Amino acid sequence: MNLMILAAGLGTRLRPYTLELPKPAIPFLGAPLASYSLSLLDGIKINRLVVNSHHLPDKIEALFRELKLPAKSLHFSLEGNQILGSGGGINNARSLLADQGDFLVMNGDEVILPHDPWMLKEFLAYHKWSKSIATLLVMKHPEVGKKFGGVWVEEGKDQVKCFAKTPIAGLCGYHYLGVLAFQDKIFRYFKNPLQSENILYDTLTMAISQHEQVSIYCCETEWFENGTVEDFVSSASYYCDQLTSDLENKTNLNYWKTYLAGTLRYYGTEKKVVENNFPELSQKLDRLWQALKINSR
């Protein structure tokens, strides 16, 4: 299976930090944001990893060349003067993804902490079983249709009816987690000629209008909004407290905490960027890394 990581975004809501570093390279708890997507791939065979870039492309390339990658080969898809969006970015990498069977797409700046170790494998198995042109990894979230747009389905069903930012009468909304599995026939539904395009509201909406099946797979996971500095700091503080407390008290970790600790040990560098301007969070992070080191002996 081939994988594409979407890493071309401007990260405007996380400025000024993203003026110097692309958002996937910003450390969260001492590990680059991009590493959290890569960590989900444990045990999944990836042939070709494709990363798109636009904002600070040299730093995106440097990041992924330095990371431990679960893939046989690494490729970059540069977007030139115009950022192409999630759909346009995938379409721009068509030559690296098409005619290879099903492929996976993940955002390069999401922190997803699964509640069980089989989440992504089960998601991919469900995609194969459903024979959908696309399957979206989703979760239940109380802010769907309010703070966040939603993926809307009939009660108890998995087939997507539409994508919308506000509630749809008679439908249930789910939060999209930035992970998609595709059949490669999805390339029939991208805009031509190449242009900016949203994978949900443009590409998949077009596929649904042509009677293609698009499905959801709902999972149990920890997830947070990290787009703004305020949200980033709040979430980092919360997860830092949660993991540090259990490590220091030698409490048996539940799975998402075990997963988080493993991700930090494997990809972490203890580097700080956002935390440097928030002394309390910086101190919490130092304490977390001390607990991680003590518990890895």
Residues 234-273 pLDDT 10s:
999 999 999 999 999 888 889 999 999 999 999 998 899 9
| Separation between Cα atoms, residue 108 and residue 113, nearest integer Å | 14
CA angle 219, 107, 269 (to 5 degrees): 100
**How many CB atoms are located within 10 Å of the residue 10 CB?**
15
| Separation between Cα atoms, residue 113 and residue 116, nearest integer Å | 9
Length of the chain: 297
Q: How confident is the model at residue 138 (pLDDT cuts 50, 70, 90)?
A: very high
Q: How confident is the model at residue 43 (pLDDT cuts 50, 70, 90)?
A: confident
Residue 183 CB burial class (10 angstroms; 0-12, 13-18, ≥19): middle
As a whole-number percent, the residues of the chain with pLDDT over 90 amount to 87
**How many CB atoms are located within 10 Å of the residue 45 CB?**
9
As a whole-number percent, the residues of the chain with pLDDT over 70 amount to 99
Fold for 2-223, please state it. Answer: Spore Coat Polysaccharide Biosynthesis Protein SpsA; Chain A (3.90.550)
Q: How confident is the model at residue 222 (pLDDT cuts 50, 70, 90)?
A: very high
Structure tokens at 131: 């024979």
Portions of the chain given CATH number 3.90.550.10: 2-223
More confident call, 140 vs 297: 140
| Separation between Cα atoms, residue 32 and residue 110, nearest integer Å | 10
| Separation between Cα atoms, residue 166 and residue 191, nearest integer Å | 25
Q: What is the pTM of this model?
A: 0.93
Q: What is the 3-state secondary structure (H, E, C) of the chain?
A: CEEEEECCCCCHHHCCHHHCCCHHHCEECCEEHHHHHHHCCCCCCEEEEEEEECCCHHHHHHHHHHCCCCEEEEEEEECCCCCCHHHHHHHHCHHHHCCCCCEEEEECCCCEEECCCCHHHHHHHHHHHHCCCEEEEEECCCCECCCECEEEECCCCCEEEEEECCCCCCCEEEEEEEEEEECHHHHHHCCCCCCCCCHHHHHHHHHHHCCCCEEEEECCEEECCCCCHHHHHHHHHHHHHHHHHHHHCCCCCCHHHHHHHHHHHHHCCCCCCHHHHCHHHHHHHHHHHHHHHHHCC
Residues 79-123 pLDDT 10s:
988 899 999 999 999 999 987 889 999 999 999 999 999 999 999
Residues 166-175 pLDDT 10s:
999 999 999 9
| Separation between Cα atoms, residue 56 and residue 29, nearest integer Å | 22
| Separation between Cα atoms, residue 25 and residue 21, nearest integer Å | 6
More confident call, 296 vs 182: 182
- Amino acid identity of 107? N
Closest CA to 181 of 164, 163, 199, 205: 199
Structure tokens at 89: 């970015």
Q: What's the confidence (pLDDT) of residue 80?
A: 84
Is a pLDDT exceeding 70 seen at residue 297? Answer: no
All residues at 6 or more sequence positions from 114 whose CB lies less than 8 Å from its CB, including other chains? 40, 120, 219, 220, 221, 222, 255, 256, 259
| Separation between Cα atoms, residue 87 and residue 103, nearest integer Å | 14
Is a pLDDT exceeding 90 seen at residue 5? Answer: yes
